[in-house]
Structure formats: structure tokens, C-alpha cells
């Protein structure tokens, strides 16, 4: 199969028929062998009934329904596991992503030039309360991850099949799929300016808390991708550094006390700072040691992504 279109949805009953018709019109015109996979993330309206009717109308429509709302990451992860196409395209169900972008996104992956292409909504139809924090978020993400994407959280993306079969998305990590993919060894990441349409139906499912959560998720994904198999390198380094600072402080106070007849060590506030830093340094080092033991005992400690084998 050439193409899988994965669409996570939550309470989007009004937009689904129009979105499906638009997608079908585009892919039929291009002559793709395709599937449209809807993942209903526990909708409370009639979205599932609409999806069922679309599946009866079009045998290329497939669907997964969650028992309750788990979030967009869970929906994408299930969609990726079920997708069968050589190229996988994701888009939101709210009609703010244009299906007319599908052919060019498909060609960018199918040509072999890219393994992942992320959309860039250069011109957005959102209020300033959303666009300004989004720009800040993307700037911080570019700085910390080194991936030069202007819109990392854009729902309109295209993937080579091997990418979606090699990554796992959980929590709210859908914001950082390019980071996860790069960690898995897929470095051919591109970007395409895409159309951003005004929302016609329903309301947004995300509030301002996503920016706080997004920053916390960024810290988590950076730690996991760099130190999941070597936590001692992080905690041990931090522990030794903090311990060394405390040691230098106490050494200075000791020399001052015994050789220069200074004030009593415990009479100086810096003594307690040095004592605390030594304790924190030891705790960080022990944390790294325990994390290393846990990591070495994990069932997936020797799981590695293999792209090809010869002679097996």
C-alpha cells in the first residue's frame, strides 16, 4: 500500500464528513493505493457513528475507538501501529489542515529525500495569545534539540513507514516526534510550508496549560533520548560537580581556620552552604548509581533499531 492517512479525533462529528470527502477527492485524483485511519480518542459526541457511516461508504476507511480519552499521543501511537502504507501522513480532524497538501508531502517522502517532513503553518489564523507562546515554544525547542523546524508541533506531517514503526509515543510526546525520530536514527528531517485554515466547527481541545506541559515534556524527552541507557553520565557528572564545589568550600574554611586563625567554621554561613552541596552531590551520585542499576536490569537494555541485515 502506498499511503496511510492517520487522523486522531476527539469530538469532531461536524467536520468528519467534509474532511473525508476532501481527502477522497485528492487521493482518488492522484490514484494512490491508500487507507484512511481514524482514531477516535474517546469522543463523547456522535463522532464514532459518523466514522462508522464513512467506513460503510468507503471500504478504504478504517477506524479505532478508545474506551475513554487518552490523549493525542496515544491516538497517534495506535494509528502508527495499525498503518500499512509506505508513506504515513498525519493530520488533525478539525479541518485546519488542508488535504491538498497530501500529494507534495507524499512525494517528499517517496522520493527518498526525506524520512520525516513536518508542516510549517507560516501564516496562522490564531489569536496572539496562542501565536506568541507558540513562537517562543518553537524557538526554545530549536535551541535545545538542534532540529531546525519552525513548527515542531504541527499536526500535518509525513513519515517514511520505517519511522512510525520504529518509535513509540506516550504521554504528551506527540509534540516532539521529530526529536524521537532523530534519536531513533532518522536524521533526514524536512519542512514544508502548509496552509493553515480557520476552524469552522467545534472548539480547540488544548488550553494554555499545554505550554507549561510542553516545556516539561521537552526536558523529559531531552533526558530520555540522551541518558536513558546511561543515567550515571548525567547524575554522576552533576553529583561530582556539586560535591567538588562543597569540598572546595570546606577546604577553604579549614585552611582559613587552622592556618590563618580565622573565625570558627560554623560561624560562617558559607560553611552550611558547603555542607549542603556535599550532601546534594552525594545524593545525585547515588541517584545515578541506582538509575544505572535499574537501567541495566531493564528488559529492553539491549534493544537496538536495525535497519538492514545481510546473510541472516
Instruction: Report DSSP letters for 232-297, one per residue.
Output: HHHHHHHHHHHHHHHHHHHHHHHHHHHHS--S-GGGSHHHHHHHHHHHHHHHHHHHHHHHHHHHHH
151 and 167 co-located in one domain = yes
CB 109 within 8 A of CB 5: no
Per-residue pLDDT of the chain (312 residues; tens, 9 = 90+): 899 999 999 999 999 999 999 999 999 999 999 999 999 999 999 999 999 999 999 999 999 999 999 989 999 999 999 999 999 999 999 888 999 999 999 999 999 999 999 999 887 766 666 667 777 777 877 887 788 888 888 889 999 999 999 998 887 788 889 988 988 889 899 999 998 877 676 666 555 566 666 677 777 777 777 777 778 888 888 999 999 999 999 888 888 877 766 566 677 788 889 899 999 999 999 988 888 788 777 665 556 555 556 656
Q: Is residue 10 part of a domain?
A: yes
Q: Is residue 9 part of a domain?
A: yes
59 and 108 co-located in one domain = yes
Please state, in angstroms and rounded to a whole number, the distance separating the CA atoms of residues 93 and 41: 11
179 and 264 co-located in one domain = no
At 32 the three-state DSSP class reads coil
Write down which residue in 208, 227, 246 finishes a domain. Answer: 227
Write down which residue in 194, 227, 260 finishes a domain. Answer: 227
**Separation in Å, CA 220 to CA 47, 104, 180, 197:** 33, 33, 11, 32
Write down which residue in 171, 201, 227 finishes a domain. Answer: 227
Angle at CA 26, nearest 5°, toward 62 and 200? Answer: 80
220 and 254 co-located in one domain = no
19 and 123 co-located in one domain = yes
162 and 252 co-located in one domain = no
83 and 27 co-located in one domain = yes
Please state, in angstroms and rounded to a whole number, the distance separating the CA atoms of residues 267 and 251: 15
219 and 236 co-located in one domain = no
Q: Is residue 167 part of a domain?
A: yes
For residue 61, give its domain range. 3-227
Provide the sign of the torsion angle of the four alpha carbons 162, 196, 60, 104, taken in this order.
negative
Q: Is residue 156 part of a domain?
A: yes
152 and 247 co-located in one domain = no
Q: Residue 45: which residues within 8 A CB-CB, separation 6 or more?
A: 11, 13
Q: Is residue 302 part of a domain?
A: no
Q: Number of structural domains, the chain?
A: 2
* CATH code: domain of residue 51: 3.90.550.10
218 and 267 co-located in one domain = no
103 and 198 co-located in one domain = yes
Q: Residue 131: which residues within 8 A CB-CB, separation 6 or more?
A: 124
Q: Is residue 59 part of a domain?
A: yes
Q: Is residue 304 part of a domain?
A: no
Q: Is residue 89 part of a domain?
A: yes
Please state, in angstroms and rounded to a whole number, the distance separating the CA atoms of residues 163 and 128: 34
289 and 177 co-located in one domain = no
Amino acid at each position: 500500500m502506498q499511503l496511510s492517512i492517520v487522523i486522531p479525533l476527539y469530538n469532531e462529528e461536524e467536520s468528519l464528513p467534509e474532511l473525508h470527502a476532501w481527502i477522497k477527492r485528492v487521493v482518488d485524483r492522484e490514484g494512490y493505493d491508500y487507507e484512511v485511519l481514524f482514531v477516535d480518542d474517546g469522543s463523547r459526541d456522535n463522532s464514532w457513528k459518523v466514522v462508522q457511516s464513512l467506513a460503510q461508504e468507503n471500504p478504504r476507511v478504517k477506524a479505532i475507538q478508545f474506551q475513554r480519552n487518552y490523549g493525542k499521543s496515544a491516538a497517534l501511537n495506535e494509528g502508527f501501529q495499525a498503518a500499512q502504507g509506505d508513506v504515513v501522513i498525519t493530520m488533525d480532524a478539525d479541518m485546519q489542515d488542508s488535504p491538498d497538501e497530501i500529494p507534495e508531502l507524499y512525494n517528499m517522502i517517496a522520493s527518498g529525500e526525506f524520512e520525516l517532513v513536518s508542516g510549517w503553518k507560516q501564516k496562522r489564523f490564531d489569536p496572539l495569545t496562542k501565536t506568541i507562546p507558540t513562537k517562543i515554544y518553537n524557538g526554545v525547542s530549536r535551541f535545545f534539540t538542534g532540529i531546525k523546524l519552525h513548527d515542531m508541533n504541527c499536526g500535518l506531517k509525513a513519515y517514511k513507514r520505517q519511522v512510525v514503526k520504529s518509535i513509540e509515543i506516550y504521554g504528551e510526546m506527540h509534540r516532539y516526534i521529530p526529536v524521537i525520530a532523530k534519536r531513533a536514527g532518522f536524521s533526514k528531517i524536512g519542512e514544508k510550508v502548509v496552509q493553515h485554515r480557520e476552524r469552522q466547527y467545534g472548539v480547540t481541545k488544548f488550553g494554555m496549560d499545554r505550554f507549561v506541559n510542553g516545556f516539561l515534556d521537552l526536558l523529559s524527552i531531552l533526558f530520555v533520548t540522551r541518558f536513558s541507557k546511561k543515567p550515571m553520565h548525567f547524575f554522576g557528572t552533576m553529583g561530582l560537580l556539586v560535591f567538588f564545589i562543597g569540598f572546595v568550600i570546606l577546604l577553604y574554611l579549614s585552611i582559613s581556620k587552622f592556618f590563618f586563625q580565622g573565625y570558627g567554621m560554623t560561624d560562617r554561613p558559607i560553611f552550611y552552604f558547603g555542607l549542603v552541596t556535599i550532601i546534594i552531590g552525594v545524593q545525585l551520585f547515588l541517584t545515578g548509581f541506582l538509575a544505572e542499576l535499574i537501567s541495566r536490569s531493564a528488559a529492553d537494555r539491549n534493544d537496538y533499531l536495525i535497519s538492514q541485515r545481510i546473510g541472516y
